[in-house]
A and B are shown apart, each in its own frame.
Chain A
Amino acid sequence: MLKYLLRRLGVAVLVALTVSVITFSLIYLSGDPAIALAGDSASNEEIEHIRKAYGYDRPIIVQYGDWLARAAQGDLGRSHYLKANISDVILTRLPNTLILALCAISFALVLAIPLGVAAAIRPNSLIDRFALSLAVVGQALPSFWFALILIFFLGIQLRWLPITGTDSWMNFIMPAIALGYYVTPGVMRLTRAGMLEVLSSDYIRTAKAKGLRPPAVLFKHALRNAIIPVVSLAAVQFGFMLGGSIVIETIFAINGLGFLAWETIQRADLPMMQAIVLVLSCFYIVITFLADMLNAFLDPRIRVT
């Protein structure tokens, strides 16, 4: 296990470094950053001045090393546009996005996994058909449209839930459902397919031949093996939710990272954009790493060689 963990950790670090190089080069992607900063009407002297002041005149490798060292210490630089410390801005926005994504993925898993298992136990039964139609609807309905439907019924008609803001946990219910339901069909289908395959496997027949009762057969012997691909899928989806909740954050006016990213793109605030990409990528790397560790725990063939 330790060997696997270390190897996997090494890969994670390598990926993180690669991501950092790509993110760093974002600054140069749109041309000379000094010119961009100085603005259209700046004179040559002004541009040179800015180039010196911000250190853009140094060799690029030095600039990268300097940037990486600061980033590693949590210093992501300043946003010229917001006139604020980027780390501070991100730290105020990150919790909202994290809570939203955690609620959304939990909602999706709690709904999709039991449904997938139930559908696999009785293929073509009523519950299987119900799950299938839910999946079809789920995949066909765009999430912003679903969000608007939720707002209309639960927020405006029934007045059960607040529509905007992040004042209480109640605020997160609708956005979490709107964000999570889109993931439900995929997770459900994968759970169902995995369970169907595992349930027809020889070792399940062995478990039955031992006289084990259905719960032990289903949960001890089948689910543990069937859930492994689901873990990987859920990790990927969770990563997407962190970065891809722009639409939902905008609709529900949640001051999160997605919302910030959207604002930042509009302002062409490059250092901020760079920082957001870096932070999200790091989260993504950590999540994938944790998912791999969970799978190694579930499947000894991964960890014991």
Chain B
Amino acid sequence: MSDTILEVRDLVIDIPVAAGMLHPVQSISFDVKRGETLSIVGESGCGKSLTSLAVMDLLPLRAKRTASVLTLDGEDLLSAGERRMSDIRGNKMAMIFQEPMTSLNPAYTIGNQLVEALLRHKQVSAAEARTRAIYLLEKVGITAAASRLSQYPHQLSGGLRQRVMIAMALMCGPDLIIADEPTTALDVTIQAQILHLLADLQKEFNMGMILITHDLGVVARVADRVAVMYAGQIVETGTAKQVFENPTHPYTQGLIECIPIPGKTERGAHLGSIPGIVPSLVGDLSGCHFADRCRYAMDACRSGRVELTGSFEDGHVYRCALTPQQCAANLTKGAA
């Protein structure tokens, strides 16, 4: 068994829209290792959700997915049919969604919806499934877990529902868990609780996790690796330490400048204080997508394709025409 749970190479998503072909995700590559958290950050609309849906094979029907490699624990997902994928979903990989208020079926009890996945994938009795549901509800910090099983979603608060969703994702003991902005819809006060809960569970069960979030403060604390996305591309990726200590891409630098400093800034403060808007991703795209918003944009940035290149250390790459030294100089200037 390899250490790498998820391997994604050159993932491309195209969606036909009225204006032409939308390219929301353009050739993305990343790995997730067992027991490791990869955090994907980037502002709204940069393709984070589509990327995770592509891994789950739950993209909207019109969307077209291509990749050179897409494997989960060594198994090729590109050639897996819908039947095989449904055996994998909820079993080997599970997903937690952005909208806890609407992600549970209002017609069924929490218990029913929790045991469902386990009964679908594993040979267990209803009583065993129930026991596991109670165990996991307690794990995610829900008190009086047994009595919650007979409650309906509308009787639970948003925070509780998201905890139920997390327990549900863990029912089959997945190798990979994808959490797509699991806290955006929740009160600021419970956001950090839920994210730390996820991080703890990920370590305890030794899963691979993709954590999509806006909260860079949390990323800095819980992520092992970080991928910064901008307009459908990864613009910088590396270990959390590399990216936070040596942010190289001007966009990453911009994000980190507005990062909440623990203790000094409010928790849960959001990204997006970089002026300008994301370019349209319809039709032909060339040059650096960030050029319109970049302080350092040059003529060279607007033509051809800007590729990922190595930064100061191994495994730390960024997508910019500037040299790492120039970028580092920019950072000190910006900070001054």
B107–A298 CB distance below 8 A: yes
Interface size on B, residues (CB 8 A): 30
B154–A300 CB distance below 8 A: yes
B150 to chain A, nearest CB (A): 10
Name the contact of B102 in the complex, choosing from A201, A213, A299 (C-beta under 8 A): A201
A1 to chain B, nearest CB (A): 12
B56 to chain A, nearest CB (A): 6
Instruction: Say whether, besides A208-B58, A211-B90, A212-B120, A202 and B107 are in contact (CB < 8 Å).
Output: no
Most buried by B among A207, A210, A216, A300: A210
B34 to chain A, nearest CB (A): 21
Mark B residues whose CB is within 8 Å of A: 56, 58, 85-91, 94-95, 97, 99, 102-109, 116-117, 120-121, 152, 154-155, 165, 168
CB of A304 within 8 A of chain B? yes
* B residues near A212, Cβ cutoff 8 Å: 86, 90, 116-117, 120
B-contact 0/1 string along A196-216, CB 8 Å cutoff? 000001110111111111001
- With A206-B97, A304-B155 already in contact, 18 other A-B pairs whose C-beta atoms are closer than 8 Å: A203-B104, A203-B106, A206-B168, A209-B94, A209-B97, A210-B94, A210-B120, A211-B85, A211-B87, A212-B117, A212-B120, A213-B86, A220-B108, A225-B106, A298-B107, A300-B106, A300-B154, A304-B154
CB of A70 within 8 A of chain B? no
A124 to chain B, nearest CB (A): 11
Q: Which residue of chain A lies nearest to B88 when distances are taken between CB atoms in the complex? A: A211
Instruction: Say whether, besides A209-B56, A211-B90, A211-B91, A203 and B103 are in contact (CB < 8 Å).
Output: yes
Q: Which residue of chain A lies nearest to B96 when distances are taken between CB atoms in the complex? A: A209
B116–A301 CB distance below 8 A: no
A300–B116 CB distance below 8 A: no
* B residues near A203, Cβ cutoff 8 Å: 102-106
* B residues near A208, Cβ cutoff 8 Å: 58, 86, 89
- The list of the 8 closest CB pairs from A to B, nearest first, reads A211-B90, A210-B90, A211-B89, A202-B102, A210-B117, A203-B105, A300-B152, A202-B103
CB of A51 within 8 A of chain B? no
Q: Which residue of chain B lies nearest to A204 when distances are taken between CB atoms in the complex? A: B105
Name the contact of B89 in the complex, choosing from A202, A210, A220, A225 (C-beta under 8 A): A210
User: In the bound complex, what is the Cα–Cα distance between A301 and B117 (angstroms)?
Assistant: 23
* A residues near B105, Cβ cutoff 8 Å: 203, 206-207, 221, 225
B-contact 0/1 string along A216-253, CB 8 Å cutoff? 10001100110000000000000000000000000000
Q: Which residue of chain A lies nearest to B106 when distances are taken between CB atoms in the complex? A: A301
Instruction: Say whether, besides A205-B97, A304-B152, A211 and B106 are in contact (CB < 8 Å).
Output: no
Q: Which residue of chain A lies nearest to B105 when distances are taken between CB atoms in the complex? A: A203
User: In the bound complex, what is the Cα–Cα distance between A202 and B86 (angstroms)?
Assistant: 17
A210–B168 CB distance below 8 A: yes
* B residues near A300, Cβ cutoff 8 Å: 106-107, 109, 152, 154
Most buried by A among B85, B94, B97, B107: B107
A216 to chain B, nearest CB (A): 8
A303 to chain B, nearest CB (A): 9
A299–B107 CB distance below 8 A: yes
User: In the bound complex, what is the Cα–Cα distance between A225 and B102 (angstroms)?
Assistant: 13
User: In the bound complex, what is the Cα–Cα distance between A203 and B99 (angstroms)?
Assistant: 10
Q: Which residue of chain B lies nearest to A228 when distances are taken between CB atoms in the complex? A: B107
User: In the bound complex, what is the Cα–Cα distance between A298 and B152 (angstroms)?
Assistant: 12
User: In the bound complex, what is the Cα–Cα distance between A278 and B117 (angstroms)?
Assistant: 52
User: In the bound complex, what is the Cα–Cα distance between A224 and B152 (angstroms)?
Assistant: 15
Instruction: Say whether, besides A210-B90, A211-B89, A205 and B120 are in contact (CB < 8 Å).
Output: no
* B residues near A206, Cβ cutoff 8 Å: 97, 103-105, 165, 168
Instruction: Say whether, besides A225-B107, A298-B107, A301-B152, A209 and B58 are in contact (CB < 8 Å).
Output: yes
List 25 contacting pairs A-B, 8 Å CB cutoff, sorted by A: A202-B102, A203-B104, A205-B58, A206-B104, A206-B105, A206-B165, A208-B58, A208-B86, A209-B56, A209-B89, A209-B95, A210-B90, A211-B85, A211-B87, A211-B117, A212-B86, A212-B117, A212-B120, A224-B107, A299-B107, A300-B107, A300-B152, A300-B154, A301-B106, A301-B152
* B residues near A207, Cβ cutoff 8 Å: 105
B336 to chain A, nearest CB (A): 46
Q: Which residue of chain A lies nearest to B112 when distances are taken between CB atoms in the complex? A: A220
Q: Which of A147-195 contact B (CB under 8 A)?
A: none
User: In the bound complex, what is the Cα–Cα distance between A182 and B266 (angstroms)?
Assistant: 62
* B residues near A301, Cβ cutoff 8 Å: 106, 152, 154
* B residues near A221, Cβ cutoff 8 Å: 105, 107-108
User: In the bound complex, what is the Cα–Cα distance between A229 and B94 (angstroms)?
Assistant: 33
Q: Which residue of chain A lies nearest to B116 when distances are taken between CB atoms in the complex? A: A210
User: In the bound complex, what is the Cα–Cα distance between A205 and B60 (angstroms)?
Assistant: 10
Most buried by A among B86, B88, B94: B86
* B residues near A205, Cβ cutoff 8 Å: 58, 97, 103
B-contact 0/1 string along A99-133, CB 8 Å cutoff? 00000000000000000000000000000000000
